[in-house]
Chain A
């Protein structure tokens, strides 16, 4: 439960900081160690539906593998060292495998960090924290919140329009052209509805005294407490240890235009 209680802004800035630092490194071992660490932290200190995490993780894994594979297949095949490896029926220079693995794991490291944030943060709290800690203008923040509420409504409306059009005898589109025409048709009622709703919401917010002014009180005060610093301390600390380990075993390398 600890991760859910960390101040969302502190959490977000920590993750951004780590991603920034990881972007300077380019070897497979450091990110691999850090990925393991991130996943352990997420599962130990977060409560969420594990099933969904795995779904998300698998899709990122696929993406990372894609990066790995394309780098491998489409990179320069003239190997300076002359060493080659045979992999899944193709022969590639050994260096390229190193580069491709680094790239794939780097993508995966960014993904696990983002998932840590997504699965342990309440979006409303995050936005409220952005207003209170980072002075995000309330006009923008509450606009985003109102929009966030609209998404599920838009989804049901989309399904209704789809059914309503089918009943009018609009056939299932077969070609790309038909598909585009259909989406255009559907966009009009959806947009008209959304604009009307947005306008009404704006009027309702204003009549409740919302002016977008920065001085307002908060029903959910978001504070940065001493215990919130534990999270960045832990994450940056571990990054340091990981780097130290891979330097010690001789794997470490900075990003130096390897691609």
Chain B
């Protein structure tokens, strides 16, 4: 029998400003060396749990905490401040705001300094930790020069250097692109085998962790412990419950649910029976309309190199490529937010610089990655009404239009809320609402589903699809190949500031350069291929 390293007993937590507790009598225990996935939809108190486990609560809590947390059989409230850091280490979600030093080595050393590790062994430990995560070459680098994936590796090194017994990762891959996510999980898998720490991963999605963690603890939206047991078994037999909670299931499981199959549901694409249904093999064939936006020889600083692209009526274009390949710059230049250093862009044959800013904004909308950046008023209603008021429209008509748009974006009833207090999903939909209120015919979106949970992603994509069906052309930057597969009529692949591919998505899936673009096949395509391979084997044997 292994030793229990971490144990909670009837843990209940509530914040001052909310009467409802965020965690309700949570009891579980974790054995030394275990790997556990803590799964729950956004708002289920998962991050609050982290603060309880690393001893930050109840010390720093505005509210009340009942019940106990034990680490190695000692109550966390009996530890001195700072002492728990020797036992429990946490890697947080945001790669930018968990550092306080300038260079990588200083940051890794920071935790060791706090633990009063003597100078000589500190030097050794910093090197060792950076080697573990494969960042030894970046020891002297500035943290601000690293990519998101590299920052998360450094964050991991900081914690590993302190050699805690328990490692908690709070949505560690939420801000990473798919390639960096995969790399991070693989690294973690390798390190766990090598160092044998106890691992708790807090997540709202499953993909990536399935082949790694064996046990899952599921939290419901009201902060109760819903299930505690083997991960795969739970997914195979209770996928529907998880789906209803708003947790993003793996593609295979989701498809099986959609096709109303009986449990056990498959977990991997390779286990899916039959071929993907073709009914979805879309209405994409729609004839392309007029050319709207044209760019020729577009060049910007040393980031974009002579790009030619034309956007037509009725298109849904996905811009993909690895981080730093120039996706955002391209979309900003196309939308007229940034001026190109060379080359020309025209809308309806008229150069962009001949358009008045006001007129242009009535044609082209742009939804930024962080919706908060775009909010300029104090209420949801005013936010949508803002650009209409400029047009000098009658109050009655204004009201009707705003109501209509809010209903369309499922924000009815929130008219008087401050934009900043909305949930992530609502904020995103509000920022879309402000960009379609003038009936803009071209809509740009910078990673619209980034940081959104399953439910808000689905709602948003549904909304965009409806808008597209009514004739709006959409250009979106994304990393999610499933979205590309589902919605896009055309894909632009950016690589090192050049347009490396520009065609229909189906053509991309069979393009030999796919791995070179740092892209993966969408799950539906993987599925097709597995089946074809199986058939092939069957025929040839």
Which of A124, A201, A215 has the most chain B CB atoms closer than 10 A to its own CB? A201
- In the assembled complex, the Cα of A89 lies from the Cα of B82 at a distance in Å of 70
How far, in angstroms, from A217 to B92 measured CA to CA in the complex? 25
Complex Cα–Cα for A207 and B55 (A): 8
Contact of A217 with B122 at beta-carbon distance under 8 Å, contacts A192-B420, A211-B114 already known: yes
Could you tell me if A216 and B56 are in contact, using CB atoms closer than 8 angstroms?
no
* Stretch touching chain B among A25-33, A44-52, A68-76, A165-173: A165-173
A209 close to B56 (CB less than 8 A): no
Contact: A218 with B358, CB < 8 Å?
Answer: no
A209 touches B96 (CB 8 A): no
Contact of B81 among A208, A211, A221 (CB under 8 A): A211
| Docked-complex contact B373 and A208, CB < 8 angstroms | no
The reply to whether B373 and A220 form a contact with Cβ atoms under 8 Å apart is no
Known: A217-B112, A217-B113, A219-B126. A207 touches B99 (CB 8 A): no
Question: Complex Cα distance A52/B113, Å?
Answer: 35
Tell me whether A197 and B96 are in contact (CB under 8 A): yes
Q: A149-B102, A218-B113 are in contact. Are A168 and B374 (CB under 8 A)?
A: yes
| Docked-complex contact A169 and B116, CB < 8 angstroms | no
Q: Which of A77-85, A156-164, A240-248 contacts B (4 or more CB under 8 A)?
A: A156-164
Q: Please state if B89 and A168 are interface contacts (CB–CB under 8 Å).
A: no
A118 contacts partner chain B, Cβ-Cβ < 8 Å:
no
CB of A135 within 8 Å of the partner chain: no
Task: Take A160-B373, A168-B374, A168-B434 as given contacts and tell me if A204 and B337 are in contact as well, using a CB distance cutoff of 8 Å.
Answer: no
Q: Are A193 and B113 in contact (CB under 8 A)?
A: no
1/0 contact string of A195-227 vs chain B (CB within 8 Å) = 011101101111111110101111111000000
Chain B residue, CB-CB nearest to A160: B373
B98 touches A204 (CB 8 A): yes
Nearest-CB distance from B141 to chain A (Å)? 14
Q: Does B455 interact with chain A (Cβ within 8 Å)?
A: no
Are B358 and A208 interface neighbours, CB within 8 A? no
Give the distance to chain A from B327, nearest Cβ to Cβ, in Å.
15
Q: Which of B358, B373, B390 neighbours the largest number of chain A CB atoms within 10 Å of its CB?
A: B373
The distance from the CB of B533 to the nearest CB of chain A, in whole angstroms, is: 46
B101 touches A124 (CB 8 A): yes
* A149/B100 in contact, CB under 8 A: yes
How far does the alpha carbon of A4 sit from the alpha carbon of B121 in the complex, in Å?
A: 27
Q: A208-B111, A211-B114 are in contact. Are A185 and B376 (CB under 8 A)?
A: yes
Indicate if the CB atoms of A200 and B102 lie closer than 8 Å: no
Known contacts being A153-B96, A208-B114, A219-B106, is A168 close to B376, with CB within 8 Å?
Answer: yes
Distance in Å from the Cβ of A169 to the closest Cβ of chain B? Answer: 5
Contact A219–B92 (Cβ < 8 Å): no
Residue of B nearest to A203 (CB): B56
Report the bound CA distance from A146 to B368 in whole Å.
Answer: 27
Supposing A160-B373, A169-B390 touch, asked if A200 and B115 sit within 8 A by C-beta, the answer is: no
> Is the CB–CB distance between A216 and B97 below 8 Å?
no
Q: In the docked arrangement, what's the CA distance between A143 and B106, Å?
A: 15
Bound-state Cα–Cα, A171 to B357, Å: 9
Determine the chain B residues whose CB is within 8 A of the CB of A213 once the complex forms. 82
Shortest C-beta distance, A61 to chain B (Å), equals: 31
| Chain B residues positioned under 8 Å from A197 (CB to CB) | 94, 96-97
Give per-residue flags for B105-120: 1 if the beta carbon is below 8 A from chain A beta carbons, else 0: 1100111111111110
A160 to B116, CA, bound (A): 41
- Which residues of the partner chain A approach B113 to less than 8 Å between Cβ atoms? 216-219
1/0 per residue, CB under 8 A from A, across B58-87: the answer is 001000000000000000000001111110
B162 in the interface, Cβ–Cβ < 8 Å?
yes
CB–CB A208/B368 < 8 A: no
B418 to chain A, nearest CB (A): 9
Q: Which of B89, B94, B376 has the most CB of A within 10 A?
A: B376
User: How far is A203 from B434 in the complex, measured between Cα atoms in Å?
Assistant: 34
A207 to B50, CA, bound (A): 10
Does B375 sit within 8 A of A, measured CB to CB?
yes
* Given A211-B81, A213-B82, residue A206 in contact with residue B60 (CB < 8 A): yes
B122 touches A188 (CB 8 A): no
Please tell me which one of the listed residues B102, B123, B366, B387 contacts residue A148 in the complex, with CB atoms under 8 A apart: B102
CB distance from A182 to the nearest CB of B (A): 9
Q: B100 — which chain A residues lie within 8 A by C-beta?
A: 142, 145-146, 149, 201, 204-205
Say yes or no: B89 contacts A161, CB within 8 Å.
no
Contact A219 B105, CB 8 Å, known A149-B99, A208-B85: yes
User: What residue in chain B is nearest A124 (Cβ atoms)?
Assistant: B102
**Chain A residue with Cβ nearest B370:** A160
A146 to B101, alpha carbons, bound, how many Å? 6
Nearest Cβ on chain A to B47's Cβ, whole angstroms: 10
Q: Does B90 contact A (CB under 8 A)?
A: yes
B439 part of interface (Cβ distance < 8 Å): no
In Å, the complex CA distance between A97 and B98 comes to 56
Given contacts A168-B386, A200-B92, contact A192 B98 (CB under 8 A): no
Of A165, A170, A197, the most chain B CB neighbours within 10 A belong to A170
B535 within 8 A of A: no
Contact yes or no, A164 B390, CB < 8 A = no
Q: What 6 pairs between A and B have smallest CB-CB spacing?
A: A209-B85, A219-B109, A204-B98, A209-B114, A146-B100, A211-B82
Chain B residues within CB distance 8 Å of chain A: 51, 54, 56, 60, 81-86, 88-90, 92, 94, 96-102, 105-106, 109-119, 122-123, 126, 143-144, 158-159, 162, 332, 335, 337-338, 357-358, 361, 365-366, 368, 370, 372-376, 386-387, 390, 420, 434
Given contacts A167-B337, A168-B374, 13 further A-B contacts (CB under 8 A): A157-B373, A161-B373, A164-B368, A168-B376, A192-B372, A203-B56, A206-B81, A207-B89, A208-B85, A209-B162, A211-B114, A216-B113, A218-B119
24 contacts between A and B (CB under 8 A): A124-B102, A145-B102, A148-B102, A149-B102, A164-B374, A166-B357, A167-B361, A169-B361, A188-B375, A189-B372, A189-B373, A193-B370, A201-B100, A204-B98, A206-B60, A206-B81, A207-B56, A209-B83, A209-B85, A211-B81, A216-B114, A217-B113, A219-B110, A219-B122
Chain A interface residues (CB < 8 Å from chain B): 124, 142, 145-146, 148-149, 152-153, 157, 160-161, 163-171, 185, 188-189, 192-193, 196-198, 200-201, 203-211, 213, 215-221
